[in-house]
Structure 1
Amino acid sequence: MSHFTITTVENESGGSAHLIHTEHVNWVLLRDDSGVTLIDGGYPKQVNDVIASVREIGAQPGDIRAALVTHAHVDHIGGLSRLANRYAFPVHLDPVEVSHARREHLQQATPKSLAKLAYKPRVLRWMAEIVALGGLDTTGIPNAEPFATSADGSLDLPGRPVPWSAHGHTDGHSAYLVAGGRVLVSGDALVTGHGVTAHVGPQCIHPVFHHDEAANREALRALAERERLSGTAVEFLFPGHGEVHRGSVSDAVATALRG
């Protein structure tokens, strides 16, 4: 049985972007005639769901040409090392985030840092469920590589994703503009829900999960400004947690920062 739902946005020049939404974390698939790009990879115990989602969009795991990572927290890279080894594809990140993915250091909430929230029944339930998904795993991706953009700022991968720097949640967090500019994959810089809160809609994730909360808020302002200056008409937000959001980056950022 599938443990995910899929939202698809077509690229008007060809190909498609798919948000794979699960209760605790999301990942994204970009597909065109050249293959599939996977963005993020869920928790360690979600490897089979990632594979199933690739097949659900009509592709095969062997079609994955590369994985991109928004940031190297366990809920986003948990299964990528195994998948990359099994299907022989590279894993790319913002150059600043590579050492984090390789686990040369770790910028991640710990059981100790989460203890101050543990009095909430919702948080206790969330903690139990993400531990069962492998949330305490500290395995990295030893062969993680920095991405290299082309002259137009895009990556030479299926879907032609364009990295948009969003440093703050982690030092090298990156968002990705996809589907010909119709979708921003925002990772955890900007989410629409999370297991520790009942709030739904554009929001900043709980401060306990940020490496640098102030820098993340500045990164959100920079994303909104980049949308404005580029003239990009973003229509959808594919967040790292929560449901798809329809609307501009600027409006979503304004809502999140007010919260």
Structure 2
Amino acid sequence: MDLITVPFNSSGVADGVARAPSALLDAGLVAALPGARVVNADVPVGDPTRGPSGLAAEASLTATVASVAERVLAAWAADRFPILLGGDCPVLLGGLVAADRRGYGAGLVFVDGHEDAWDPHRSPTGEAADSEIALALGMVPGFAPVLQTADLLQLGPRDAEELAEAGQPSIADRVDVLPGDRLAAPDGIPIAVGKAAALVARTEHWWLHVDLDVLSTQALPAVDYPQPGGLTWDQLDTLTEQLLSIGGCGGLSVCIYNPDLDGGAAATRIASYVARASRIAARGHG
């Protein structure tokens, strides 16, 4: 497998979540995955100024996505399973671009505490981490779609109130969404896995994206935009294992840990999670 490090922070800075990949490697992730190869994506220095699209660090985003896509394609060409270590969520776009270039339909199981489909001009930050799903679906002028609404399953968003207050339309009327409160309920994980199995059955290939802010603040305080609710670590472990046990996953991305907020205290737990998920995914890789 290839551990593709992507130290990208869509606010245009080189700290915060950009330091997560190195924190996970320092916490022993490579040792936990014998045979894993570390591959570094090229992440140019960003400019926090918003570009014409409304996105900050637009040039850095474009270059980073292209670099990640190249490394994912190289991993697949060598029959190696790609794991993207962010950084923040737009690193996922590199995997979707790679699937699009390879010419097969890709499904996305998106485990996240936010919908991440903001119009960049409405986004309070301009960070592409607010908008990567909008970018993937081609909802932002100038960005070609690399994902169809029918091929997207969102598990865990709990930002409906924030979207409504900001006048940002939800995409829950267009895509399959299991909100965070339902995902965290006793029957939430079986429902989520059933939805994912249905998605996988009709797509040629699928990608699993995990934004760690799907966890509760009690489980992981070191995220930039905490919210009420969320999963426990045990729930996320179980959900991830059952999703990957469906088989056929072509890639995994794990994002949104800010080691600056906890001095790296959570890195060992996150590295353990990534290692276990990677082993399961690689066994079922197809």
TM range (shorter): 0.3 to 0.5
Relative to its length, the structure with more strand (as a share) is: 1
Relative to its length, the structure with more helix (as a share) is: 2
Task: Provide the TM-score with structure 1 as the length reference.
Answer: 0.38
**Relative contact order: is structure 1 or structure 2 higher (C-alpha 8 Å, sep ≥ 6)?**
2
